[in-house]
Structure 1
């Protein structure tokens, strides 16, 4: 593709490169990257200033590797195109979207603190039930119909909710080539703040909820909300489908701020004014009996999951489908066939004593509260909670999460969860301020073994914080680790030893 063709339909790029010589405009582009090490002959290099590195420091390396055009925040020399006041991240996104110039027809962005991963997966499943080729993208990678596209599962080192721009737009192009018509995409606050999603052709968006998270990055809850709001106020085109949880205070605020915009909005929740109104949520063993009202009609569904918050994720997915114009009867009937996403209220039963282990990604105070409250509703005996907090992340939540675990649990076990560059004992100390009587076991493997050994008939064990993750990051080292695998192996060993006795 020639540079002049790449920029021909993009106003931002046309304005930026209007004075570039014809020789450059007629240059064939082989690729675009913001990483100088990935630059090859006939590539465009965009020098982006990040939290740890400044891309302008690697301009010479990019040239040596074959970059024919370099774009940066200012002209470091006569051969560097300056973006002036335009963000280099936005320019990078626009270039990638123009280079990988195909995207699925329907793309829904899901944003909020909790529930994004489950909601995109439920959207995908509902669309498949309705007869479309559908995919979901986010924390778990890319899932197409009933298979994972493994080439786009992120490595433990990356672990981003929203893909890096080069992966994201390449993947959108690939999905369209595979005739995927419907895509649900996790839209993280980081991705929105860093303009990674500005060139995605969204046809709709969901707001799940907003609570205390990522304040190490955003500094305060107002900045955090405004990043989420960008999806609805700056990125969505007119006449887009929107679903908003108006039981959430920030959801209600968002609705009031955008209700006069030209969008097709479907609100949901228990609130009296909700379009899709939740009449009741009843936990029945390992199923949820859900009763909804839509346009004065009552719909009943039994879903094979645990947790009121999962009901909200299901209803969020159903609401966006309705906003897209899909038949409500079909959607509400299809809800009974939904399966939870990996590491989201994932259940493991122990046959020798009828106890239950739940693996969940809950790593924020609100998510931990949701999960424990759901377990408390159905627990017949003790609740054991095992968790830790990530290093180099929001420290303020640690004591609060300890207090929540103490409030809902009969036994709390504090362990390590991706301590990263922090001293693990300091993280545990912060948590233990909220639950001073908890058992402290640094090694997560040993902690899980201990927790399972304490299970008696009808007890519940929640292993929280990592969910789907398959690694543990300690210092600069990332080691294989999977809560689900360790729990299954521990149960297997216990049952073997019982048989031997």
Structure 2
């Protein structure tokens, strides 16, 4: 793309430190100097750990033609042209959108502490069954029909994000449902995305290792509605979710249209939620029309997530009468309140990604109506993350479980034993089993008919992070393997 096309009409010559032929081709862009190729733009972004400005020299040696940086950055000799911006992260997002140009015409974006993956997956499924070419993007990666692509982050960095959007457009995707994390919003990754419908699930404690406090965390989430959502877009607010009032006020102040979901007095109402042993029943009402829904998905909280997904589809123009087929065919996302297997004793074993106090409480409370015996919880907490939530999760487990086994999650660079100790201070009656496989095995061994086992924290993940290494580990495969051992009589110790 020519430089004058990339910069657009809003740019003036004085933003460039040195003159450059505006017809010169910019062949690519990156914020990683190791990925710079001749003719690229390099974005020297400030960071909490690494400052991109330190790598400008490397980028120039690799052939960078244009450098994007903050006004205060000093440059080594040999830099051809510098584009200065007070917010280079946001500018990178806008330039990436301009460079890659194409994206699915309708984009649904979901944010909140819990439920993002479920809501985006449900939107994708509903639209697909309604005959649209749909895709989803988030913690589980990118999925568009048979096309799947793993992601390192829930919401990718701007250059990768817009490259994916272009590829989805080329695949003929009409609608994309994407998760938007608080990190992405704080770092302006999605500011170039034309979001047509934005949805809010809820907000509770999480990521305070990154955000200064809960207020900055909430402010980051609210940006999706007050700044990123296109002016004529629709904000869909789950009023049943914590902190929804704040988000609704911020959205209203920004002049965006609001579509609400609640049990009463809302655009879409959710009523008659009834847990069954094999799923849920509930009723949705919209503009005088009523739809009774029966789904095999477990967990009362999933009724809220389904309702939010439905509301976002309605806000995006899907007729209410086209919902039934998709709702009847809904399947839970991988690792989200997912019943993986039943043991030979008739113990239902669930895996859930719950890794915050609120998510763990929600998961346990959702399973309680389905449980005829004991509710057994196996979980741990990640290292190098918000340490303050460890004791809170221990208290939640102690209050809502009958038996608890504390084990390792992803300890990363922390002492795993100390993490377990911090959790157990709030649930001293819990059993401590460091090895996650052995912990799950102990739960299966002790459980009886009618009990439910919840293995929480890792959900869909297929690896365990210890130090700087990732070791293969899946809660799903571990449960299946152990139940298979029990089935053939090899599950007991000699």
TM tier relative to shorter chain: over 0.9
What is the CA-CA distance between 1:141 and the residue it aligns to?
0.4
Give 1:371-390 correspondences, 5 Å limit. Answer: 371-390=363-382
SS, match of residue 410 in structure 2: coil
Q: Which residue of 1 aligns with 2:93?
A: 93
Change (3 A) 1:27 1:301: same
Deviations 1:49-88 (A, max 9, x none): 1121111111111111111112221341373766655211
1:205 and 2:202 are equivalent in the alignment: no
What is the CA-CA distance between 1:257 and the residue it aligns to?
3.5
Q: Which residue of 1 aligns with 2:341?
A: 349
Deviations 1:407-462 (A, max 9, x none): 12221000111111111111111100111011111111111111111121121000
- Looking at structure 2, the residues matched to 95 and 101 of structure 1 have their Cα atoms a distance apart, in angstroms, of 10
Deviations 1:279-300 (A, max 9, x none): 1210111210011222233320
Deviations 1:367-418 (A, max 9, x none): 1011000111110011110000011111111111111111122210001111
- Is the CA contact (8 Å cut-off) linking 1:360 and 1:465 kept in structure 2? yes
Q: Which residue of 1 aligns with 2:121?
A: 121
Deviations 1:12-50 (A, max 9, x none): x55774665242x22222210110100111111111111
Give 1:363-378 correspondences, 5 Å limit. Answer: 363-378=355-370
- Is the CA contact (8 Å cut-off) linking 1:32 and 1:95 kept in structure 2? no
- Looking at structure 2, the residues matched to 46 and 358 of structure 1 have their Cα atoms a distance apart, in angstroms, of 44
Change (3 A) 1:202 1:363: same
SS, match of residue 283 in structure 2: strand
Q: Which residue of 1 aligns with 2:19?
A: 21
- Looking at structure 1, the residues matched to 18 and 107 of structure 2 have their Cα atoms a distance apart, in angstroms, of 34
SS, match of residue 384 in structure 1: strand
- Looking at structure 1, the residues matched to 488 and 324 of structure 2 have their Cα atoms a distance apart, in angstroms, of 43
- Is the CA contact (8 Å cut-off) linking 1:8 and 1:14 kept in structure 2? no
Greater Cα shift, 84-93 or 282-291 = 84-93
Q: Which residue of 1 aligns with 2:189?
A: 196
Change (3 A) 1:279 1:119: same
- Is the CA contact (8 Å cut-off) linking 1:265 and 1:323 kept in structure 2? no
- Looking at structure 2, the residues matched to 192 and 92 of structure 1 have their Cα atoms a distance apart, in angstroms, of 14
- Paired residues in the alignment total 490
Q: Which residue of 2 aligns with 1:72?
A: 69
Q: 1:171 aligns with which of 159, 164, 179?
A: 164
- Looking at structure 2, the residues matched to 68 and 499 of structure 1 have their Cα atoms a distance apart, in angstroms, of 62
Runs of at least 5 residues in structure 1 that lack an aligned partner in the other structure = none
Q: Which residue of 1 aligns with 2:43?
A: 46
- Looking at structure 2, the residues matched to 251 and 277 of structure 1 have their Cα atoms a distance apart, in angstroms, of 16
- Is the CA contact (8 Å cut-off) linking 2:67 and 2:83 kept in structure 1? no
The TM-score with structure 2 as length reference comes to 0.95
- Is the CA contact (8 Å cut-off) linking 1:243 and 1:267 kept in structure 2? yes
Q: 2:488 aligns with which of 456, 478, 496?
A: 496
What is the CA-CA distance between 1:242 and the residue it aligns to?
2.0
Q: Which residue of 2 aligns with 1:397?
A: 389
1:277 and 2:269 are equivalent in the alignment: yes
Q: Which residue of 1 aligns with 2:104?
A: 104
Q: Which residue of 1 aligns with 2:440?
A: 448
Greater Cα shift, 77-86 or 336-345 = 77-86
- Looking at structure 1, the residues matched to 81 and 342 of structure 2 have their Cα atoms a distance apart, in angstroms, of 62
Runs of at least 5 residues in structure 2 that lack an aligned partner in the other structure = none
- Is the CA contact (8 Å cut-off) linking 2:19 and 2:81 kept in structure 1? no
SS, match of residue 203 in structure 1: strand
- Looking at structure 2, the residues matched to 90 and 280 of structure 1 have their Cα atoms a distance apart, in angstroms, of 44
Give 1:70-469 correspondences, 5 Å limit. Answer: 70-73=67-70, 74-77=72-75, 79=79, 86-145=86-145, 147-149=146-148, 152-154=149-151, 158=152, 160-259=153-252, 262-270=255-263, 272-350=264-342, 352-469=344-461
Change (3 A) 1:225 1:15: farther
Greater Cα shift, 67-76 or 31-40 = 67-76
- Is the CA contact (8 Å cut-off) linking 1:291 and 1:298 kept in structure 2? yes
- Is the CA contact (8 Å cut-off) linking 1:71 and 1:80 kept in structure 2? no
The TM-score with structure 1 as length reference comes to 0.94
- Looking at structure 1, the residues matched to 472 and 328 of structure 2 have their Cα atoms a distance apart, in angstroms, of 35
- Looking at structure 1, the residues matched to 164 and 197 of structure 2 have their Cα atoms a distance apart, in angstroms, of 19
Deviations 1:266-287 (A, max 9, x none): 21122x2221111121011121
- Is the CA contact (8 Å cut-off) linking 2:66 and 2:83 kept in structure 1? no
SS, match of residue 210 in structure 1: coil
- Looking at structure 1, the residues matched to 182 and 440 of structure 2 have their Cα atoms a distance apart, in angstroms, of 32
- Is the CA contact (8 Å cut-off) linking 1:264 and 1:323 kept in structure 2? no
- Looking at structure 2, the residues matched to 331 and 180 of structure 1 have their Cα atoms a distance apart, in angstroms, of 20
- Is the CA contact (8 Å cut-off) linking 1:161 and 1:188 kept in structure 2? yes
Change (3 A) 1:349 1:66: same
- Looking at structure 2, the residues matched to 375 and 189 of structure 1 have their Cα atoms a distance apart, in angstroms, of 28
SS, match of residue 217 in structure 1: coil
- Looking at structure 1, the residues matched to 272 and 466 of structure 2 have their Cα atoms a distance apart, in angstroms, of 44
Greater Cα shift, 190-199 or 283-292 = 283-292
- Is the CA contact (8 Å cut-off) linking 1:389 and 1:418 kept in structure 2? yes
SS, match of residue 267 in structure 1: strand
